[in-house]
C-alpha cells in the first residue's frame, strides 16, 4: 500500500501484519481516491472492518461495482431477490451457516478475488466471524514443509456442500458463473500454495470446506498433509476475530485468507449479505501464468 493512498484512510491495525479497522469512512459516499486506498488496504491487510455504515442492498451492490467486477451471488445459490442477483444471503433460518473453515468458492476454476459482507440481522450474542491469514501461515511453516507444499496440487469439490442444493433446490440449474449456467460441480485442481497475483506473496490455498484431497499421493498421506496444514493455518497467532454489530461491513482478500462463522447462538436469527468480486485462476510457485 503506497503512502499517498494510505494517507486518505484512518487505519487501526488489529495485529502486526493482519486485519485492520478503517475509522471515519462512509462507504456509501467515499470518493474514488478513498476507495482506491481501501482496495489497496484489502490487499495489504487482508481483512478490513468498517463500523457505522448505512448500506442497504442497492448500496452494497453499488460499492462492490466501484471496487471490482461483481459475480453472481454464488455458483449454486440464487440471489437474495430478483433485483439483487449479486447478493448471497446467509440466513440461519434457511440453513445459511458457514461454521467450517473455508475460502469462498474455491471449487470453481476462478474463485472470487474478494468478498464484502454486511450484517443484516444479528443474534443477541454470538455469531462472530474469524479470519485466518494464509500468507502468514505459509511463512511460519518450517522450510522443508514449505518446500513440500510448493510442489503439491489439491482437488476442490463443491458437491459435498452444494451438490444436493443444486440438484434439489435449483433443479440442476444454478447461477451464471464465468458466462455459463452452472449445471454441475466438477471438481477442480488448484495449487496448495497460491502466489498472490498482486504482491507475489505465497499463501496456503487449501481449506476444510472444499478441499477434498491432494493429487498424486495416497489417501492416508493426503489426509495427514491436509490435517497438518489446516491445524497450522488456524493457529491462534494466524487469526483475527470480529464481533459483529449492526452497521458493520467486512471486506477481505479471498486469495490470502480463510474464514469461519461461529454457530453459537442457538435458535436466534442471524442474516448476513455477501457479495463477491470476480477473481482469476490461481497459480502456484511452479505454475505457468
Q: Which residues belong to the active site?
A: 102, 104, 259, 274
DSSP-derived 3-state class of residue 82: coil
Instruction: Give the other-Cβ count within 10 Å of 266's Cβ.
Output: 10
In the structure grid, which three cell numbers stand for residue 82, read together?
Answer: 430478483
178-212 burial, b if ≥16 CB within 10 A, otherwise e?
A: eeeebeebeebebbbbbbbeeeebbbbbbbbbbbb
Contact 133, 42 (CB under 8 A): no
How does strand 211-214 pair with strand 153-156? antiparallel
DSSP letter, residue 102 = B
Amino acid at each position: 500500500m503506497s503512502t499517498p493512498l494510505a494517507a486518505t484512510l484512518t487505519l487501526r491495525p488489529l495485529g502486526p501484519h493482519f486485519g485492520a479497522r478503517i475509522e471515519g469512512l462512509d462507504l456509501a459516499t467515499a470518493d474514488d481516491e478513498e476507495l482506491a486506498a481501501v482496495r489497496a488496504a484489502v490487499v495489504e491487510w487482508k481483512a478490513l472492518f468498517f463500523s457505522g455504515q448505512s448500506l442497504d442492498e442497492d448500496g452494497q451492490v453499488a460499492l462492490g461495482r466501484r471496487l471490482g467486477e461483481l459475480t453472481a451471488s454464488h455458483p449454486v445459490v440464487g440471489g437474495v431477490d430478483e433485483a439483487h442477483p449479486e447478493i448471497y444471503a446467509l440466513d440461519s433460518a434457511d440453513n445459511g451457516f458457514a461454521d467450517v473453515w473455508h475460502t469462498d468458492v474455491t471449487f470453481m476454476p476462478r474463485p472470487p478475488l474478494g468478498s464484502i459482507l454486511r450484517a443484516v440481522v444479528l443474534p443477541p450474542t454470538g455469531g462472530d466471524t474469524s479470519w485466518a491469514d494464509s500468507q502468514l501461515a505459509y511463512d511460519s511453516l518450517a522450510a522443508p514443509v514449505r518446500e513440500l507444499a510448493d510442489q503439491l496440487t489439491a482437488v476442490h469439490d463443491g458437491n459435498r456442500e452444494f451438490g444436493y442444493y443444486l440438484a434439489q433446490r435449483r433443479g440442476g440449474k444454478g447461477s451464471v458463473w464465468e458466462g455459463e449456467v452452472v449445471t454441475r460441480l466438477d471438481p477442480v485442481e488448484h495449487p496448495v500454495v497460491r502466489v498472490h497475483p498482486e504482491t507475489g506473496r505465497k499463501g496456503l490455498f487449501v481449506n476444510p470446506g472444499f478441499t477434498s484431497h491432494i493429487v498424486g499421493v495416497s489417501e492416508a498421506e493426503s489426509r495427514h498433509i491436509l490435517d497438518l496444514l489446516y491445524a497450522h493455518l488456524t493457529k491462534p497467532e494466524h487469526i483475527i476475530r470480529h464481533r459483529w454489530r449492526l452497521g458493520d461491513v467486512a471486506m477481505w482478500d479471498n486469495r490470502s485468507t480463510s474464514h469461519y462463522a461461529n454457530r453459537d447462538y442457538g435458535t436466534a436469527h442471524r442474516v448476513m449479505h455477501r457479495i463477491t468480486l470476480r477473481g482469476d485462476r490461481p497459480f502456484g510457485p511452479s505454475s505457468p501464468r
